[in-house]
Amino acid sequence: MKIYKVKNYEEMSRKAANIISAQVLLKPDCVLGLATGSTPVGAYKQLIEWHKQGDLDFSQVKTVNLDEYKGLTPDNDQSYRYFMNKNLFSGINIAMENTHVPNGAEADSEAACSAYNAMIRDLGGIDLQLLGIGHDGHIGFNEPDSVFPAETHCVDLTPLTIEANKRFFEKAEDVPRQAYTMGIKNIMLARKILLVVSGADKAEILAKAVEGPITPQVPASVLQLHPDVTLVADEAAMSMMKL
């Protein structure tokens, strides 16, 4: 694992955007795996800025997002599709048909998930997967479990995740209880992984994920087995790591 320890959220965002832009420059028709949550927002802002300056062209780029709440339609301002349109896609020259998010409006989980797996395969897999981490070690919405789930599937969100994500909703009861998420296999098949982490509240889980035992109880720990992971984390997030 390549590790960049940076000062703060701003530096983390800039470094992550640098790595994503390097991928786009080296392979203009690459497949980017993207993430939601508050952590990647600064990196997305930076990418938009570089695009506006004329330094980055997304016209051939394809994107696949990790996850989506089940039951939310794209026009719902809490859906991850809405989030991606607002925080990245509307600011860059990507073709909307080249952007993919699991279909939260599809009530048939099996249909939604198998279509998503087939789409990722048809694109030829993911070149660079961007990841954040949840407080319980989840990546995408792969929550702690006794096994590693394989491909895109429907999950029941844990109380901890519902609690963490309620800040985006009016009240906790509005947070959907289920989501569609890429599985560990989809993520691990990405050719490169970029994990971004910021803040003292993530320090304990980051240390467990990177230095602890590899276990489905800490889903992000599986990244220790991936041959090409880059971690960009700020000092606060790395404060409990041994190095």
Give the binding site for ligand GLP (CB under 6 A).
35-39, 66-67, 132-134, 140-141, 161, 165
Strands laid side by side in the 153-156 sheet: 67-69, 178-181, 153-156
- Which CB sits closer to ligand GLP, 38 or 93? 38
Tokens of 50: 């570089």
- Taking the CA of residue 81 as centre, how many other CA atoms within 13 Å lie in the half-sphere pointing to its CB? 21
143 noted as active-site residue:
yes
Which of these is catalytic: 51, 100, 138, 153?
A: 138
- Which CB sits closer to ligand GLP, 27 or 116? 116
Which of these is catalytic: 68, 127, 143, 234?
A: 143
Least Cβ distance, residue 41 to ligand GLP (angstroms): 8
Which of these is catalytic: 68, 100, 127, 136?
A: 136
Q: What are residue 5's DSSP bridge partners?
A: 233
Least Cβ distance, residue 60 to ligand GLP (angstroms): 25
Least Cβ distance, residue 232 to ligand GLP (angstroms): 13
Tokens of 107: 């009530």
- Which CB sits closer to ligand GLP, 4 or 141? 141
Q: What is the dihedral of CA 110, 111, 117, 118, to 10 degrees?
A: 140
Tokens of 145: 């479990």
Residue 229 and residue 130: Cα distance in Å, rounded?
10
55 noted as active-site residue:
no
Residue 241 and residue 243: Cα distance in Å, rounded?
6
Least Cβ distance, residue 75 to ligand GLP (angstroms): 20
Task: Please report, in angstroms and rounded to a whole number, the separation of the first and last CA atoms in the chain.
Answer: 13
Which of these is catalytic: 67, 68, 151, 234?
A: 67
228 noted as active-site residue:
no
> Where in the sequence numbering do the catalytic residues fall?
67, 136, 138, 143
